[in-house]
Amino acid sequence: MFANSSPNRESFLSLQKDEAAAFEELYKTYWYRLYCVARRQTSSPQDAEELVQALFEKIWKNRASLTVKSWGPFLAISLRNLIIDFQRRQAVQKKFLQQYRSSPVTGMPEDELQQEQLQEIIETHLQELPQKTQDIFKLSRFEHKSVKEIAGSMQLTEKAVEYHITKSIKLLRHYLREHLSIFLHFL
């Protein structure tokens, strides 16, 4: 998949020595190709970007212990594994949502209370983010504005808007996953 271009052995050794330049070279060499593969597999630019970003974060965190002979195959296999995990999570979420939607809505006060609690959790954790990120997330998710509309109104690039949305979604996923597991435990 990526046989043609692999940073040389010295670059790899520099990566193990915490040299950011070697990591940057690796990132610049492979990012776009990895993104294209992830984009084809996920059909979502945001998901593809998050997967490739997660891969490079993992490489950076584990750089001291990595022993990679050829970066191309290593990155291809690592990305494939991340995509498989992602698709499994998506399938579980889809199944959960189907079950949730198919259950009868009772309109009970408990349901309304849970909805309010969820909204409070979201609002609380959104406040941990910088104001600009909060504003962009609210425009995107609550007012259903497109990335292009947000970028135009806030005088930002579309890439910057996508970054802020991704940042806020990651934080909320983390906290909502904790609360959802607690909630499901009591069911």
Q: In sequence order, what are the residues at sequence separation of 6 or more whose Cβ sits closer than 8 angstroms to the Cβ of residue 148?
A: 158
| Residue limits of CATH 1.10.1740.10 in the chain | 9-90
Under 8 Å between Cβ of 68 and 31: no
Tokens linked to 100: 């949730």
Q: Closest Cα to residue 26, out of 49, 54, 60?
A: 60
Q: Give CA–CA dist 166/175, Å, rounded.
A: 15
Cα of 99 vs its chain's centroid, Å = 25
pLDDT (0 to 100) of residue 14: 61
Tokens linked to 186: 């009591």
| Higher pLDDT among residues 39 and 117, named by residue | 39
- Highest mean pLDDT pick, 11-15, 38-42, 96-100, 180-184: 38-42
| Higher pLDDT among residues 48 and 183, named by residue | 48
* CATH number, domain 9-90: 1.10.1740.10
Q: Give CA–CA dist 71/29, Å, rounded.
A: 10
Q: Give CA–CA dist 131/120, Å, rounded.
A: 17
* Percentage of the residues of the chain whose pLDDT score is greater than 90: 24
Q: What is the 3-state secondary structure (H, E, C) of 44-87?
A: CHHHHHHHHHHHHHHHHHCCCCCCCCCHHHHHHHHHHHHHHHHH
3-state SS, residue 104: coil
| Per-residue pLDDT at 179 exceeds 90 | no
In angstroms, the Cα distances linking 127 to 55, 132, 145, 171 are: 28, 11, 20, 11
Q: Tokens 């889809």 correspond to what residue?
A: 94
| pTM for the predicted model, two decimal places | 0.50
Q: Give CA–CA dist 52/130, Å, rounded.
A: 24
Domain 108-186 has CATH 1.10.10.10: yes
* Percentage of the residues of the chain whose pLDDT score is greater than 70: 76
| Per-residue pLDDT at 2 exceeds 70 | no
186 pLDDT tier (thresholds 50, 70, 90): very low
| Residue limits of CATH 1.10.10.10 in the chain | 108-186
Q: Give CA–CA dist 11/70, Å, rounded.
A: 12
